[in-house]
Amino acid sequence: AYEIGVRLVGSEMCIRDSVNRPALFAASAAVRDVSWLKKEVNHIRKWNKILFKKFKEMNIATNESKINFLLLNFDRVNISSRKVFQKLGDAGILVRAMNVYGIKNSLRITIGKSKENKKLISTLGKISYSQRSNSQFKPRIGFDVKIANGFGAFIFFELLNKELSTP
């Protein structure tokens, strides 16, 4: 296995992931397919804006991402990320718990297909609404964190910050 990661730059946090040789070859081939890459970059840009806006409307703290995932913090809405993790899992939505990285009460979500993203928004909206109606809502101050994780994120981070040109 190969270890791929992004260095700590300013306030951005780096988390390393191990990637096997077939994954490296697949990633290398994907990067060479410029038309697919442009389509994916546009999809990620579009959904980053939509998800950021929707989470903000739900009062869930998140980051304005430039890559294919966002960090959600549930302190403002007084919901346990463990509870959200479980309910999303029950709905067939897989996310990453961030407590193991020292980021409390937070989950990392990856931008998926449009249908998956719509399901995520709907499910989180129901969880958030249910929690607020079952308890007294006390907003808290949230935070803004940017994370770059793994090879795929590194590729998208680099591509989103450069103009793509077809040879």
Q: In this predicted model, what pLDDT tens digit does every residue of 3-55 receive, in sequence order?
A: 444 333 444 444 445 567 787 777 777 778 788 888 999 999 999 999 999 99
Q: How confident is the model at residue 160 (pLDDT cuts 50, 70, 90)?
A: very low
Q: What is the pLDDT of residues 42-68, one digit of tens each?
A: 999 999 999 999 999 999 999 888 889
Q: What is the DSSP letter of 9?
A: B
* One-letter amino acid of 21: R
Structure tokens at 30: 């994907």
Predicted local distance difference test score (pLDDT) of residue 73:
96
Amino acid at the residue 8: L
What SS3 string covers 54-111?
A: HHHHCCCEECCCCCCEEEEECCCCCCCHHHHHHHHHHCCCCCEECHHHCCCCEEEEEC
In this predicted structure, what is the pLDDT of residue 133? 55
